[in-house]
Amino acid sequence: MSTLSAEDQAKLEALEGFIRAARAGGNDVQVAELVAVDWPGTDGRVYYASTQADDTWPGLRDLLDALGGGPVEPRLNGGPFLDVMRDSGISDDSVSLNFWEPDHAISDLFETHGDGARVEIFFYFPQVDLLLSQWHGHLRPPEDADEENFTASAENGFMSVQLPLPRRAFFQTCQAVFGGLLRTQAEIDEHDCPWNLQLTEEERGGAPAVGVPGSELLPPCPRRTRADCVARLGDSRFWLAFDTGIASYPVGSRGVIATSRGNETRLKRPLRVIAGKRVVRDLDLLAYVVETGNPSHPERGSIKLLYAVAEGRNRSLRQPKARGALIGAQHFSVRLGTKGQPSTGFTVNANNYSSTGILNCVLQGDFRTVDPASIPVEITVEGLDDVRVYASDDPADFAEEYSQDRAWWLLHAYRHKRWGLGADVRRFVMPDFIDLSDWFAETITYRDKDGVSYTGPRSTFNAELIDRTAQQQINDICLAGRCTVPFPWEGRLRVFPLKKLSEDELAAAPVFTDDVNQSEFEPNIVRDEQTSKSTLTRSEVSDRELPNAIKVTFDNDQKANREEPLLFDDVEQQLRAGRAFGDTGRRAVEKPYGLLGVTGVGEASRLGVLLRDLGEFDEGGLVNNQRIRFQTFFTQALTLYKSKVIRVLSRSLTNRRTQAQKFEYFRVRSVRRLSSLLVEVSAQAYPVDYYAQTEDLAPGVPGGVIPVDPGPELNPGGPGGESPNPVVIDSVDARRDKILIRLGGL
């Protein structure tokens, strides 16, 4: 996965020689970190170092010129190393930067350009003339500044993981970003306000000018009332708020006045997002009108209800039901949530709720004493049809479509500007998502313990995203899809499936060993300088604590997306857990999981087995219960990343009776850089034989199979080894609420 050239790889090998010599008592390894800041405009890139790099390392100048040049200024206070964290892409990792600036140069640049300038941190090794990029982020405002110092931070993340996702709340003021604050037509198109009079015709790239002539002289839109929108756009079709307002109108010929009532202030959670196909319940009631009937016939009254269904633009909203009964076509209307959509006509001058899926329906009956929010209304939704599916690494090479693909929905949650995290797609390596999408689309056959086979795509996504943090949503999307959470690597976010490696891939896995008698591989697991003991340690979870009963819940599409639990336990492991407590009892150690976006029983069953056997993100289950930790040289760990499979050979992992290791391959959990230029690696066992069973393709089988003993040969209607008997329908009896079919011929 590394992009290092062959020349840089050779320099790394030479650098490792310097590191080994230094640990043996030779000269120290020379290393320093440079912080590159890309100031906008003509100020350009500047490299900041802790020493005068031009004088100390003459070769650095040529390297920087090859990267585009830029001055090197000795402004970083502190030692040669910065405290650099590497974590998943949904966290806000930060690096503290303390600049020495008696000339006020950094402050002047920051006041000119503001925060957000790109930051890149490099390692430079002058002994081998090697410059390595280690971290990317963006500059934040100063935390402390005085006459000589400018202390700020650079952040890798782009939004707090504790914010809700989705995140559009039911505010009565507009939540759209005013188009006049954006710099390009592409940015305006991604947001919700189309005003673009600040752009020239050339900058609009053929797009029409949108806005009331002369409104460019007004201040940026304050977004307080619809009048602000009308003054700049001529109407309020793009008003992105939830202000229903109160309206009164006469009903029938009796002079009765009905008044609409808003319900937005009771709505505390953000508006939901629907992926794929779902039956959506517990709709968000925006407003209602109770229309009373004749006093002698109150049952002839009605109630008009206006619901926010989900973020738009949706593919379809159909088959609404109230109290389990379909609402007649003449009694409801919907809006899919397009930008600037027409109003449902709920009341005169009603909000059209731009970019919001809407259901407007009328129910008949006496509703004078009924709480409208308690009426059970549901609707079948085919969710967003603006999911971007990319064809290459070009940020402009995409098509917007309706999708049930977990890979593109993962990216959509990161990318979307209104309800998602709003990340720039250039942060991601798009071929990762293309490969992940192909992997999810592979046909998988799974046979459960009862011998029932399920065949379908490896992973789909039919989810309701609502009322949880970004960290929870992203984690669960990846957990149920069996892929890594996106993580930073060489300045961009990467994501990989947790899949079986081929024999060739296993043969190419990096090898780590502490065995000095190993003839094939040179030892690269570091030994403690004081005790000469290997830094390799291993651990296992006790049988009394290891989960042996996995309970998964999924929204079954065969039961109108009702939540359904499934249990996957292991009796033998439960008996071992009992023995761990010193008795012969059967002890269940349960752990629950919600499978976000999973609606098929076959997919849920397969995931339940894998979670039981491998653990979440393959970090510890019944068949891979061994974790190791060791230290190695910085140069050996440059190609390591979370989820990468490595081979580890050590006598401390070898069973003296069998003279074999229980596990030779491990999946990397974390990589932590130490100040000594060593790296600490944590990894979980990778059970090769188990993966071979779960992922190998069998003849005539369209996908991977988790083999489970099917029991006796299945043969509906006949004994094993013979042809199935034909199924004959004796009679069909149609009743009011059921159909009775009598079978014969068995």
User: What average pLDDT does this structure show over 475-481?
Assistant: 96
Domain that holds residue 96: 31-155
In angstroms, rounded to a whole number, what is the distance separating the alpha carbons of residues 642 and 474? 16
**653: helix, coil or strand?**
helix
- The CATH number of residue 49's host domain is 2.30.110
| CA neighbor of 322 nearest in space, from 275, 365, 367, 363 | 363
Domain boundary among 233, 267, 302: 233
* Residues 355 and 253 grouped into a single domain: yes
Question: Which class for 622: exposed (0-12), middle (13-18), buried (19 or more C-beta within 10 A)?
Answer: buried
CB 200 within 8 A of CB 217: no
Q: Are residues 307 and 337 in the same domain?
A: yes
Residue 256 β-bridge partners: 251
Distance CA 484, CA 420 (A): 19
Question: Domain check: are 351 and 260 in the same one?
Answer: yes
Do 276 and 400 reside in the same domain of the chain?
no
The answer as to whether 526 is a domain residue is no
Q: Which residue has the higher pLDDT, 67 or 389?
A: 389
Whether residue 91 is found in the same domain as residue 112: yes
Regarding whether 321 and 299 lie in a shared domain, the answer is yes
Q: What is the pLDDT of residue 54?
A: 46
- Residue 168 forms part of a structural domain: no
- In the structure, what pLDDT confidence band is assigned to residue 451 with cuts at 50, 70 and 90? low
* Residues facing residue 630 across a β-bridge: 681
Domain boundary pick from 368, 384, 400: 384
| Collapsed DSSP state (helix, strand, coil) of residue 422 | coil
Strand partners, 362: 304
The answer to whether position 363 is within a domain reads: yes
Report the C-alpha gap between 513 and 58 in whole angstroms: 37
Q: Is residue 262 part of a domain?
A: yes
Q: Which residue in 376, 378, 401 sits closest to 388, CA to CA?
A: 401
- Position 701 scores a pLDDT of 41
Same domain, 361 and 271: yes
pLDDT band of 745, cuts 50, 70, 90: very low
Domain ends where: 438, 465, 494? 494
379 in the same domain as 393: no
Lowest-pLDDT choice from 17-31, 330-344, 455-469, 656-670 = 17-31
- Same domain, residue pair 360 and 400: no
Q: How confident is the model at residue 540 (pLDDT cuts 50, 70, 90)?
A: very high
54/142 same-domain check: yes
How far, in Å, CA of 351 to CA of 360, rounded?
12
Which stretches does DSSP call E strand in 260-376? 261-262, 273-274, 277-280, 284-291, 302-311, 314-322, 325-326, 332-335, 356-364
Q: How far is CA 157 from CA 45, 89, 492, in A?
A: 21, 7, 11
Length of the chain: 746
Q: Which of 133-137, 334-338, 619-623 has the lowest mean pLDDT?
A: 133-137
CA–CA dist 265, 14 (Å, integer): 66
Confidence (pLDDT) at 705: 44
Rounded-to-integer distance, Cα 650 and Cα 110, Å: 52
Residue 507 lies in a domain: no
Between 46-55, 509-518, 521-530, 728-737, the lowest mean confidence (pLDDT) is in: 728-737
Lowest-confidence segment of 65-79, 289-303, 668-682 by average pLDDT? 65-79
> Is 213 in a helix, a strand, or coil?
coil
Residues 184 and 110 in one domain: no
Q: Which pLDDT tens digit goes with each residue over 586-615?
A: 899 999 999 999 999 989 999 999 999 999
- Do both 421 and 334 map to the same domain? no
Distance of CA 624 to the CA centre of its chain: 25
* CB-CB contact of 406 with 440 (8 Å): yes
Q: How confident is the model at residue 182 (pLDDT cuts 50, 70, 90)?
A: very high
pLDDT number for residue 35: 87
Instruction: List Cβ<8 Å contacts ≥24 apart for 455-460.
Output: 455/602, 455/702, 455/703, 456/600, 456/602, 456/603, 457/603, 458/603, 458/703, 458/704, 459/406, 459/598, 459/603, 460/276, 460/404, 460/405, 460/406, 460/597, 460/598, 460/599, 460/600, 460/603
Is 447 inside any structural domain? yes
CA distance 204 to 179: 12
Q: Tell the residue number behind the tokens 């934040």, with chain if given.
A: 140
Structure tokens at 619: 């970090």
302-311 and 284-291 beta bridge pairing: antiparallel
- Tens digits of per-residue pLDDT, 110-153? 989 888 888 888 877 777 777 777 777 788 888 888 878 888 88
pLDDT for residue 29 is more than 80: no
- The overall average pLDDT reported for the chain is 84
Q: What mean pLDDT is predicted for residues 247-267?
A: 66
pLDDT in tens, 673-731: 776 778 899 999 999 999 887 754 433 443 344 444 333 344 444 444 444 555 555 55
- Beta strands across the sheet bearing 562-569: 562-569, 549-556, 590-594
Total of domains in the chain: 5
Could you tell me the pLDDT band of residue 67, with boundaries at 50, 70 and 90?
low
Is the pLDDT reported for residue 43 higher than 60? yes
| The pLDDT of residue 134 | 73
| pTM flag (> 0.85) | no
The verdict on residue 481 lying in a domain is yes
Q: Has residue 646 been placed in a domain?
A: no
- How many Cα atoms within 13 Å fall on the side-chain side of residue 564? 17
642 within 8 A of 617, measured Cβ to Cβ? no
- Residue 228 identity (one-letter amino acid): D
Q: Do residues 727 and 746 lie in contact, with contact meaning Cβ atoms separated by under 8 Å?
A: yes
Percent of the chain residues past pLDDT 90, beyond the cut: 51
